[in-house]
Structure 1
C-alpha cells in the first residue's frame, strides 16, 4: 500500500486526531450556515477554499465546507486541485499513491481515473512534487469531517499549466456525484487596506467568471481559472461566501494573506 504521508501535520494543523477533529468541528460549527437546508440545497458542484495554517484560514474554509452538509451523501468522489508551492514543473501531476494519510486516517485515491488521464496525456506522475506540498493536504481533514472516509479523491497539483489544460482535465474527469475542490489563497503579504481592496477586486473577477486570474491575485490562479472555464461550459454560477485575510483572523495587519471561500452551483 503506497501512501502519501502528511507533510504539515503539527505545523499547519494539529497532528493528534482528537485535537484535529475538535478544531475542524469548531471551524465548521462557528459559522452561521445551518446543517440543514441552505440556499444552495443540493446544487453545489465545486468549492474554492483557502489553504493556510488553520489558525489563519480555518474559519474561512469552514464557512464553505458547511454548505456541503446538506448534500454530503450525494458526493462519492472529490476532484482536488491546487497550486504547486515547493517544486516547479510543467503541467499537472498526481502523487503516484493509493492513499493520502492524515491524522484522521487514510483517504483512498481513485487510481483508475488517474491512469486514464495519464494515458490521455493530460497529467503525469510525481510523488516528489506532492511530498512536501501543503495545499491539498490541509483540505483533507475538512473533507473527512464533512464527507466521511469512504469518499475517494483525485488529487492533482497544477504547475506551469494553462487554465485550458485544467479545463480539459475537469472535462475528462467530472461526472455527477463528483465535487471539485480548488485550494487557493488570494493576495500575499500586502498591507491590510491594500489587500482588502485587491482581494475584493479578485473576488469580483471570480464571481464574474473571469478566467484570467494572475499569480499576484491568487496563488491558485491556474486551477481557479480552469474551474471557471469549466463552470462556464457547464452553465454553473459562483458565489463568494466569505472574504477575509490573516489580519482579520490571527495575524498582524502590516503584511497579510487573503482568503476567499466560494461555491459553484
Structure 2
C-alpha cells in the first residue's frame, strides 16, 4: 500500500479537516506567548505526549508552539515512539511512501528509510504501524505547524536505547526535527501519578534512564538523552499535566504527560 491511512482519526482527534484545524488552532492559541529558547541554542527536537487531544493536546501544543518561528527550518521530521500493539525486536519502519491524516498526506523520506533498514536493528513492519497511535497523533500538529516536510516514522520494540541513539544520530541534522513521542505513568490515582511523574521528570532532566513503568516511550527518551549529553544540547521543560486535569478525565486512573524542547 502506497499510503498508510489514518487509524485513530475520529477517536484521538477530529476526523473532519475543518474541525481538526480549528481544534489545533485553539490548542496552540493557549501559547501565544511562546516560550523563548536561548538564541544561541536553536530548537532541534521535542518530547511530546500521544494521548487523545482532549487529554494531552494542550501539553503537546506547548511544544509545537515553538515551531511558530522555525517552521521553514525543518525539511524532515524524525519521529520516534513505542509500539503499543505489536511485539517485535528492534525498530520498525514502514514500506509506505506517505502517511495520511485528515489534513492531507505526508511524504516519507524513503531514501533514508531504505538506508535505515540495512541496519541489523531495523526492519520493515507495516503491521506494527497499521494501528499504532503514538506516531499518528503527532502528524496533525506537524502539518499545522511546519511547511513542507518529509517524515521518518520509527517505532521501537525490544531494543537497547544505545542502539536507538546510534540509529537516530546520523539523521538528526540542522534541518531535521527530532520528535520523541511518550506519555509518562499510566493508570494511577491522581496524587500518586503526580508523585511518580515528578520523580520521572527529575530523572529526565538529570539525564538518568527511565523504565517502562515511568514512561511508555522510555526507549526514545533514553536514546534522546544520550544524544543530548553527547552533543551538549539543552533540555527545557514546557508543560506537565495528566489526564485528570482534563474535564473528561477520571482522577482515580490517570495518565501523565510532559513536553520538552531540545535545543543545540
1:82 maps to 81
2:166 maps to which of 165, 168, 184: 168
2:262 maps to 264
Distance in 1 (alpha carbons) for counterparts of 2:167 and 2:38: 26
Residue correspondence of structure 1 range 14-163 to structure 2 within 5 A:
14-34=14-34, 38-41=36-39, 43-148=42-147, 150-163=148-161
Q: Does 1:193 align with 2:179?
A: no
1:223 maps to 220
1:240 maps to 237
2:4 maps to 4
Q: CA RMSD in A?
A: 1.3
Secondary structure class of the residue paired with 2:43: coil
Secondary structure class of the residue paired with 1:214: coil
Secondary structure class of the residue paired with 2:255: strand
- Cα distance, 1:39 vs structure 2: 2.8
Distance in 1 (alpha carbons) for counterparts of 2:85 and 2:167: 22
Distance in 1 (alpha carbons) for counterparts of 2:115 and 2:67: 28
Q: Which runs of 4+ in 1 moved over 2 A?
A: 31-34, 37-42
Say if 2:5 and 2:100, in contact at 8 Å, map to a contact too: yes
Distance in 2 (alpha carbons) for counterparts of 1:124 and 1:243: 34
Unaligned runs of 5+ in 2: none
Distance in 1 (alpha carbons) for counterparts of 2:257 and 2:152: 23
Distance in 2 (alpha carbons) for counterparts of 1:230 and 1:125: 25
1:37-84: per-residue Cα shift (whole Å, max 9, x none)? 823446111100000011100011011100111112111100000000
- Cα distance, 1:230 vs structure 2: 1.2
Distance in 1 (alpha carbons) for counterparts of 2:47 and 2:162: 18
TM-score (norm 2): 0.96
Distance in 2 (alpha carbons) for counterparts of 1:174 and 1:195: 32
- Cα distance, 1:189 vs structure 2: 0.3
Deviates more, 1:55-64 or 1:171-180: 171-180
Aligned length: 261
2:207 maps to which of 206, 209, 226: 209
Distance in 2 (alpha carbons) for counterparts of 1:33 and 1:115: 40
- Cα distance, 1:237 vs structure 2: 1.6
Distance in 1 (alpha carbons) for counterparts of 2:106 and 2:205: 31
Secondary structure class of the residue paired with 1:119: coil
Distance in 2 (alpha carbons) for counterparts of 1:27 and 1:70: 17
